[in-house]
């Protein structure tokens, strides 16, 4: 059986600097994978390559058996490969309700309609309310994004991803910039994601990673140096060295 | 901070009346009322008012791409001029002089010009985009100058004799027909645009202006949104051009000029980008100013227009409408 | 072959005049990030001052250049303090609106003071007449403009890349907050750069006056040309501007020689192609 | 019903204008913008006429209403003309620097019962657009045709033409070609230059390469003429003996101080030179220079405006101050008088001005001022261009 999502020998370099070096990874429906690594390991570049915001120098990305390497970002989204952003990318002058409605309409290929208003579509409004409610944003649905707190903006990022009904979800540091006290909400949201969805989450917060992921992939200097269960990761020699800044030595002996 | 969240359920179930109002009924009413006031206040100056209406259509069309989608252009008159020449050539060379048909032809040629300039201008962003738009308008201008057999070249295209509207209302010296025809066009276009900017597509366009990457991450193609908007914008500008051709019965190269493009941009920013009201208010204020000042002292009005622009940037940076609306909503919030 | 040489000479001469006039705008647009549509207005003020000094006061060409540069900078300083300061970091549309407004005012006032007729800046005898190059002749003042252009290019490059001021300027451009934290007084750096840009505009206005005569509408007439040159070169890049001027000069001159009636088409089609291929300009700084 | 109301409306306006003691004349021209100098000359010519003749004609006060169209903009011109007729109630429309602006207003004349006196716009076809148009300026054909004869008389057989690529330029090219070929000469090359051209060096090189013995040129008066004349000198064409022929548009008096010695010896044909030697012109120049303020700014549109005012005054006299466009036009058909430019007449057929065209040479007068010195006169020139107007 072929994987839902697979990356084969992905490579990308900027100038002489190799940021993604021969990375391969496969995921099945329902997988919860965390991608971790020290600063500058190339995690965000990897997400950008997978999502189609960057073009790889070589290698392939497959989704549901289809090679999507040549497809533009928007087309990958329409096939169910959805991403969130490390720094929220939201429309400052629109409300959460509008955000989610737009995502739903886009998913249903109705966003090109040049008349009517989403509030006139009960099925859209129901879903909008359901999603906002689930994430505790319903109280804020008519405020402009610039008026709501950052933690709530992060939740809205997740809401948008959910509204797009992903098959494969890339979460780029979903809790970045949010105070510890508020991460609970975000974690709840992550736990309530549909079970058959494959999720690849990037994060620094090890507590969150260990609670969420059933598999951990460690990236260092653009290379996968570990792929296994959360309990093994802290024991791994190379991972320790990577985080302790000794990777160069370890690499030469390996 | 969270005052407005109390009535979300009622707001979500917008009543039909409210939706109609949001759909532009108030705006349409305002156009009709202001139009009627203009008619009775300046019954002998309808030609200027008609011209204002035609230019308002151009500025509205510019607002669609600049205000709603964030495209920087100094070449938007290409769309207006294409509409004007389209309608004019249809009348002068092909005998299509029924005003509604001429308007339709203008809208079509305007859209075609929108498609062409969109394809070129959307290849870059920011400053490079401005320069592309300048190149486009100069190419259009030069092309019309060269094709003088069709366009009359620099002498202008004359011989446009529009028939009476519905065979009843003649376009004459006093310009009532032209004015009312223009006002009806403006109202119809306004309502249509009001529906458009509130539609899912309108939301998508605003999204493109604010964050292209997010729009892509929602699965929409930025360029396709922009190009479609450009075509619509072309139709609106083309209707404006056709109105100009019908009401003045002549089309000149100035309708495809950099100057007109720049003036339209100035009017839009003056009124406030990203709002249909801003576009219309900017047009009205600028043209009224220009007309009054140049009648009082044709020799030095440019200085005063310049000073006005500087004053707007300093004291009303979001444009006249944008800044007033912002002020009013701050006042309200202060009380609430 | 002779034709090719001939076109090359004209292209070089025209390109260098364009360079001298436009380079100040490249500084404001690339380094200060202000789309200064009033650039031509300052060049024109320079031209008027030089004409007044050299012709009406009879001070001579060199003194005329000096008066133009110093005088225009003095006129520009209050404008920078009152108006331009608010444009740093503003949106392009705001900058366009404000600087067009300033241009309109300058045109109106100039028209009022000096009247609508052309003003000339009398050339010294050494720059009048033409120089024989063997296969053709070229105007002496054009050779002078070429030399001045090269000197300006070299001096600017040195100022920006090799001096302490240049380092501060680049730091202030790349990250104003960080530069300020490091003790760079960004306000002063900006004011000085603005003065340099205006001085260059005035210099260009004087040197280019034989080609682009001084009259009130100068400020609007050549606005687009300056803007195009700078963006094709890449705002803020001195070598880029030089390359763009030579390239556009060559395209324009060749077009004018071979098919003058389609000159405009060639020029703007070339601009579209270049800008599409190099959205940041030929040698633009990346943001 | 609507027609009826509108007719009543119209009658009300027309009659109120007809019995007023003040007769309004609407003047449309470029009073601001790059062509403001030409508008200023319109105003100077009109003011000069009023200063000399008083602003009362046949017991009626004259009031001039100016409207500004900075650049060729027919839509604006038309709406201003409409406003002048309907709101201001003007009895006469005058001015019009650009052809499209004049063309745009012609459809209003019949319905508005208003004659139009074109004081500058120089395309032949304007007078054919409406029977209510009279022109007191010139046409490109009129001023260009004689220079072809001059060229031939000087023994030139091969000419290259360089004209600005727009209506008047193309008119000039066609006129020169027609006239020169009729004289047995040959136009070896015809170059059209974009209006925005500011570097003429490559074109001058091309003139040299063409093997022509002379060049004929038309550019609208303005900044490029300076660069053009300088390029002619700087690129060694003058030294190489290639003759320079043009219409007077290249050497208007207002540009001569700027052109300086570079222009000395240039030969042009034109209908008017400020230096024209006649008592009528002396009186005109004195009044017009006073009106314009700076004497150096006085140039050709002023005389078109001055004569236009004369024509209008005769129309007012003929109609007794009443609004009657047909009668007014009939009254001036065939009208002949001595203008500051010399003897002129309104051709009864075309309603265009028949006048002398002069060959002039740029020279210095006794006081060291640059002038267009008249050296040859082509008498009673009509407009040859009318034959080529598409019916």
**Residue B314: inside a domain, yes or no?**
no
State what percent of residues in chain A have pLDDT above 70: 95
**Residue A217: beta bridge partners?**
A35, A227
Is pLDDT at B192 greater than 90 in this prediction? yes
Report the gap between the CA of D82 and the closest CA in chain B (Å). 6
State what percent of residues in chain C have pLDDT above 90: 36
Lowest-confidence pick of B225-234, C119-128, D91-100, D303-312:
C119-128
In this structure, whether the domain defined by A5-89+166-253 belongs to CATH 3.60.130.10 is answered with: no
Residue D244 parent element (H or E): strand D243-247
**Residue D117: beta bridge partners?**
D94, D134
The backbone torsions φ and ψ at residue A60, rounded to the nearest 5 degrees and listed phi first, read: -135, 155
Range of the domain at B73: 19-257
Chain A CB contacts of B221 below 8 Å: 72, 74
Interface test mutation site (partner C, options B133, B263, B313, B318, max chain C beta carbons within 10 A): B313
Contact B156 D103 (CB under 8 A): yes
CB-based contacts of C155, cutoff 8 Å, min separation 6:
none
Instruction: Locate the chain A residue with the closest alpha carbon to B192.
Output: A115
State what percent of residues in chain B have pLDDT above 90: 55
Q: Where are the domains of chain D?
A: 2-138+277-351, 141-270+357-388
State the pLDDT at residue D354. Answer: 95
DSSP string of D165-197?
SSHHHHHHHHHHHHHHHHTT-EEEEEEEE-TT-
The whole-angstrom separation of Cα D44 and Cα D290 is 8
Residue B264 parent element (H or E): helix B258-271
Q: Which residue bears the tokens 């680049």?
A: C170
**Residue B247: inside a domain, yes or no?**
yes
Report the gap between the CA of D260 and the closest CA in chain C (Å). 9
Among the listed residues C268, C164, C169, C153, the one whose alpha carbon sits nearest the alpha carbon of residue C204? C153
- Cα-to-chain-centroid distance, residue A216: 14
Chain segment A99-142, per-residue pLDDT in tens: 999 999 999 988 888 888 888 889 999 999 999 998 889 999 89
State the pLDDT at residue A253. Answer: 39
Residue B276, classified by CB atoms within 10 Å of its CB into exposed (0-12), middle (13-18) or buried (19+), is buried
CATH H-level superfamily of D141-270+357-388 = Response regulator (3.40.50.2300)
Which of C43-47, C117-121, D21-25, D100-104 reaches the highest mean pLDDT? C43-47
Chain D CB contacts of B174 below 8 Å: 6, 9-10, 86
Is pLDDT at A250 greater than 50 in this prediction? no
Q: Name the pLDDT band for A156 (thresholds 50, 70, 90).
A: very high
State the pLDDT at residue B16. Answer: 53
Instruction: Locate the chain C residue with the closest alpha carbon to D203.
Output: C257
Secondary structure of chain C in HEC code, one letter for each residue: CHHHHHHHHHHHHHHHHHHHHHHHHHHHHHHCCCCCCCHHHHHHHHHHHHHHHHHHCCCCHHHHHHHHHHHHHHHHHHHHHHCHHHHCCCCHHHHHHHHHHHHHHHHHHHHHHHCCCCECCCCCHHHCCEEECCCCEEEHHHHHHHHHHHHHHHHHHHHHHHCHHHHHHHHHHHCHHHHHHCCCCHHHHHHHHHHHHHHHHHHHHHHHHHCCCECCCHHHHCHHHHHHHHHHHCCCCHHHHHHHHHHHHHHHHHHHHHCHHHHHHHHHHHHHHHHHHCCCCCCCCCC
In this structure, whether the domain defined by D2-138+277-351 belongs to CATH 3.50.50.60 is answered with: no
Instruction: Locate the chain D residue with the closest alpha carbon to B49.
Output: D79
Q: Where are the domains of chain C?
A: 2-277
Out of 1.10.1740, 3.40.50, 1.10.8, 1.10.3470, select the CATH number for domain C2-277: 1.10.3470
Q: What does the pLDDT average to over B289-306?
A: 79
State the pLDDT at residue C150. Answer: 92
CB-based contacts of C255, cutoff 8 Å, min separation 6:
C262, C263, C265, C266, C267
Is chain C adjacent to chain A, meaning 3+ CB pairs within 8 angstroms? no
Is pLDDT at C242 greater than 70 in this prediction? yes
Lowest-confidence pick of A49-58, B8-17, C146-155, D100-109:
B8-17
Q: Name the pLDDT band for D98 (thresholds 50, 70, 90).
A: very high
Which chains touch C (3+ CB pairs under 8 A)? Answer: B, D
Is pLDDT at B13 greater than 50 in this prediction? no
CB-based contacts of D365, cutoff 8 Å, min separation 6:
D275, D371, D373
Q: Name the pLDDT band for C287 (thresholds 50, 70, 90).
A: very low
Helices B46-62 and D74-83 pack at an angle, to 10 degrees, of 150
Does ipTM surpass 0.85 in this model?
Answer: yes
Lowest-confidence pick of A215-229, D2-16, D295-309:
D2-16
Is pLDDT at D342 greater than 70 in this prediction? yes
Q: Which residue bears the tokens 């306004």?
A: B190
State the pLDDT at residue B297. Answer: 73
State the pLDDT at residue B126. Answer: 81
Chain segment D103-142, per-residue pLDDT in tens: 989 988 998 999 999 999 999 989 998 999 999 999 999 9
Which of A28-42, A153-167, B105-119, C138-152 reaches the highest mean pLDDT? B105-119
Residue C125, classified by CB atoms within 10 Å of its CB into exposed (0-12), middle (13-18) or buried (19+), is exposed
Contact A92 B214 (CB under 8 A): no
CA atoms within 13 A on the CB side of B194: 20
Q: Name the pLDDT band for C85 (thresholds 50, 70, 90).
A: confident
State the pLDDT at residue B8. Answer: 42
State the pLDDT at residue D16. Answer: 45
Contact B269 C93 (CB under 8 A): yes
Q: Beta-strand (E) ranges in chain B?
A: none
Please check whether residue C221 touches D, CB under 8 A.
Answer: yes
Domains held by chain B: number? 1
The whole-angstrom separation of Cα A93 and Cα A146 is 7
Contact D167 B253 (CB under 8 A): no
CB-based contacts of D79, cutoff 8 Å, min separation 6:
B47, B48, B50, B51, B247, B248
Please check whether residue B198 touches A, CB under 8 A.
Answer: yes
CB-based contacts of A227, cutoff 8 Å, min separation 6:
A25, A215, A216, A217, A218
Q: What does the pLDDT average to over D347-360?
A: 95
Among the listed residues B118, B79, B124, B77, the one whose alpha carbon sits nearest the alpha carbon of residue B226? B118
Q: Name the pLDDT band for B2 (thresholds 50, 70, 90).
A: very low
State what percent of residues in chain B have pLDDT above 70: 91
Is pLDDT at C74 greater than 90 in this prediction? yes
Is pLDDT at B12 greater than 80 in this prediction? no
For residues D151 and D390, the model is more confident at D151
Lowest-confidence pick of A96-100, C279-283, D135-139, D353-357:
C279-283
Is pLDDT at A222 greater than 70 in this prediction? yes
Please check whether residue C113 touches D, CB under 8 A.
Answer: no
What are the tokens at D317?
């006299």
Instruction: Please report, for residues B160, D82, D126, the alpha-carbon distance to residue D104 in angstroms, rounded to integers and kept in the order given.
Output: 10, 10, 10
D141-270+357-388 and D2-138+277-351 share a CATH fold: yes
Which chains touch A (3+ CB pairs under 8 A)? Answer: B
CA atoms within 13 A on the CB side of D246: 25
């Amino acid at each position: 059986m072929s994987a839902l999502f697979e990356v084969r020998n992905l490579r990308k370099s900027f100038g002489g600097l190799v940021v993604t070096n021969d990375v391969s990874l496969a995921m099945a429906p329902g997988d919860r994978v965390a991608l971790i690594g020290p600063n500058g390991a190339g995690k965000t570049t990897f997400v950008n390559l997978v999502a189609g915001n960057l073009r790889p120098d070589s290698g392939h990305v497959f989704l549901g058996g289809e090679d999507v390497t040549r497809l533009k970002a928007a087309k990958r989204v329409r096939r169910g490969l959805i991403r969130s952003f490390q720094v929220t990318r939201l429309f400052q002058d629109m409300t959460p309700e509008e955000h989610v409605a737009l995502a739903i309409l886009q998913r249903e290929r109705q966003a090109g309609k040049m008349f009517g208003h989403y509030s006139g579509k009960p099925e859209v409004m129901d879903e909008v309310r359901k999603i906002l409610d689930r994430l505790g944003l319903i109280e804020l649905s008519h405020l402009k994004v610039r008026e709501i707190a950052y933690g709530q903006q992060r939740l809205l990022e997740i809401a948008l991803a959910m509204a797009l009904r992903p098959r494969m979800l890339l979460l780029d540091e979903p809790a970045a910039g949010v105070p510890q006290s508020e991460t609970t909400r975000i974690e709840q949201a992550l736990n309530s994601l549909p079970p058959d969805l494959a999720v690849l989450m990037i994060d620094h917060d090890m507590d969150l990673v260990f609670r969420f992921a059933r598999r951990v992939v460690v990236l260092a200097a653009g290379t996968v140096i570990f792929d296994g269960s959360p309990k093994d990761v802290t024991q791994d020699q190379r991972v320790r060295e990577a985080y302790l800044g000794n990777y160069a030595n370890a690499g030469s002996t390996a | 901070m969270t005052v407005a969240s109390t009535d979300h359920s009622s707001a979500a179930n917008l009543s039909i009346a409210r939706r109609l109002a949001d759909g532009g009924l108030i705006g349409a009413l305002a156009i009709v009322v202001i139009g009627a006031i203009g008619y009775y206040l300046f019954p002998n100056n309808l030609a200027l008012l008609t011209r204002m209406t035609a230019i308002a259509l151009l500025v509205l069309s510019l607002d669609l791409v600049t205000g709603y989608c964030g495209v920087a252009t100094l070449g938007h008159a290409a769309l207006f001029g294409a509409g004007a020449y389209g309608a004019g050539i249809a009348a002068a060379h092909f005998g299509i002089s029924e005003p509604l048909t001429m308007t339709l032809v203008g809208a079509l040629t305007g859209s075609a010009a929108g498609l062409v300039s969109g394809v070129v201008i959307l290849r870059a962003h920011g400053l490079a985009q401005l320069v592309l738009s300048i190149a486009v308008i100069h190419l259009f201008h030069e092309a019309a100058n060269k094709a003088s057999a069709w366009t009359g070249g620099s002498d202008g295209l004359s011989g446009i004799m529009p028939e009476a509207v519905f065979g009843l209302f003649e376009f004459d010296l006093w310009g009532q027909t032209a004015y009312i025809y223009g006002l009806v066009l403006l109202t119809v276009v306004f309502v249509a645009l009001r529906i458009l900017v509130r539609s899912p597509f309108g939301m998508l366009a605003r999204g493109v202006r604010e964050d292209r990457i997010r729009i892509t991450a929602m699965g929409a193609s930025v360029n396709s949104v922009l190009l479609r908007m450009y075509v619509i914008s072309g139709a609106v500008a083309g209707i404006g051009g056709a109105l100009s051709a019908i009401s003045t019965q002549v089309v000149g190269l100035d309708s495809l000029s950099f100057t007109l493009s720049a003036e339209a941009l100035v009017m839009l920013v003056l009124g406030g980008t990203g709002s249909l009201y801003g576009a219309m208010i900017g047009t009205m204020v600028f043209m009224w100013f220009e007309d009054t000042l140049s009648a009082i002292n044709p020799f030095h009005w440019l200085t005063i227009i310049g000073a006005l622009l500087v004053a707007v940037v300093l004291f009303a940076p979001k444009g006249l409408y944008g800044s007033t609306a912002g002020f009013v909503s701050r006042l309200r919030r202060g009380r609430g | 072959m002779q034709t090719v040489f001939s076109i090359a000479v004209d292209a070089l001469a025209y390109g260098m005049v364009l360079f001298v006039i436009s380079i100040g705008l490249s500084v404001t647009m690339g380094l200060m990030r202000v789309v200064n549509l009033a650039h031509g207005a300052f060049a024109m003020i320079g031209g008027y001052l030089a004409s007044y000094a050299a012709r009406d006061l009879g001070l001579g060409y060199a003194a005329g250049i000096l008066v133009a540069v110093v005088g225009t900078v003095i006129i520009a300083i209050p404008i920078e303090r009152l108006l331009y300061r608010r444009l740093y970091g503003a949106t392009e549309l705001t900058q366009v609106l404000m600087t067009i407004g300033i241009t309109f005012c300058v045109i109106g006032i100039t028209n009022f003071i000096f009247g609508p007729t052309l003003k000339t800046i009398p050339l010294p005898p050494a720059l009048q007449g033409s120089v024989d190059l063997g296969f053709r002749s070229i105007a002496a003042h054009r050779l002078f403009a070429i030399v001045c252009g090269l000197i300006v290019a070299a001096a600017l490059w040195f100022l920006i890349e090799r001096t302490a001021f240049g380092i501060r300027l680049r730091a202030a451009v790349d990250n104003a907050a960080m530069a300020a934290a490091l003790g760079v007084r960004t306000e002063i750096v900006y004011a000085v750069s603005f003065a340099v840009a205006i001085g260059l505009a005035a210099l260009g206005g004087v040197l280019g006056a034989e080609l682009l005569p001084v009259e009130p509408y100068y400020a609007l007439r050549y606005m687009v040309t300056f803007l195009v040159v700078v963006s094709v070169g890449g705002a803020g890049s001195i070598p880029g501007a030089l390359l763009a001027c030579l390239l556009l000069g060559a395209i324009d001159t060749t077009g004018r020689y071979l098919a003058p009636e389609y000159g405009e088409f060639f020029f703007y089609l070339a601009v579209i192609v270049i800008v599409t291929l190099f959205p940041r300009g030929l040698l633009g700084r990346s943001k | 019903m609507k027609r009826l109301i509108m007719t009543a409306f119209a009658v009300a306006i027309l009659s109120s204008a007809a019995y007023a003691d003040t007769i309004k004349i609407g003047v449309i021209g470029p009073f601001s913008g790059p062509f403001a100098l030409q508008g200023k000359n319109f105003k100077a010519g009109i003011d000069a006429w009023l200063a000399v003749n008083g602003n009362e004609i046949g017991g009626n006060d004259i009031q001039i209403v100016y409207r500004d169209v900075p650049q060729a903009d027919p839509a604006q011109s038309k709406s201003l003309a409409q406003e002048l007729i309907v709101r201001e109630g003007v009895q006469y429309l005058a001015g019009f620097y650009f052809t499209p602006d004049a063309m745009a207003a012609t459809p209003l004349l019949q319905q508005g019962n208003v004659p139009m006196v074109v004081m500058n716009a120089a395309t032949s076809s304007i007078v054919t657009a409406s029977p209510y148009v009279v022109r007191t300026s010139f046409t490109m054909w009129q001023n260009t045709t004689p220079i072809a004869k001059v060229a031939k008389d000087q023994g030139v057989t091969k000419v290259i033409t360089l004209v600005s690529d727009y209506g008047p330029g193309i008119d000039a090219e066609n006129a020169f070609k027609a006239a020169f070929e009729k004289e047995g000469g040959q136009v070896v090359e015809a170059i059209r230059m974009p209006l925005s051209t500011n570097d003429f060096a490559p074109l001058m090189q091309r003139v040299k390469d063409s093997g022509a013995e002379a060049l004929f040129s038309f550019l609208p008066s303005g900044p490029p003429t300076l660069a053009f004349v300088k390029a002619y000198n700087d690129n060694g064409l003058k030294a190489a003996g290639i003759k320079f022929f043009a219409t007077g548009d290249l050497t208007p008096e207002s540009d001569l101080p700027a052109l300086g010695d570079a222009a000395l010896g240039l030969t042009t044909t034109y209908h008017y030179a400020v230096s024209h030697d006649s008592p009528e012109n002396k009186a005109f120049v004195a009044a017009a220079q006073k009106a314009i303020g700076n004497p150096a700014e006085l140039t050709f549109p002023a005389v078109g405006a001055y004569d236009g005012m004369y024509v209008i005054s005769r129309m007012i006299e003929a109609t007794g101050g009443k609004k009657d466009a047909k009668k007014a036009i009939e009254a001036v058909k065939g009208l002949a008088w001595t203008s500051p430019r010399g003897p002129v007449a309104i051709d009864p057929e075309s309603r265009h001005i028949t006048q002398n065209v002069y060959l002039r040479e740029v020279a210095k007068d006794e006081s060291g001022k640059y002038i267009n010195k008249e050296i040859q006169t082509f008498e009673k020139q009509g407009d040859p261009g009318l034959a080529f107007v598409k019916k």
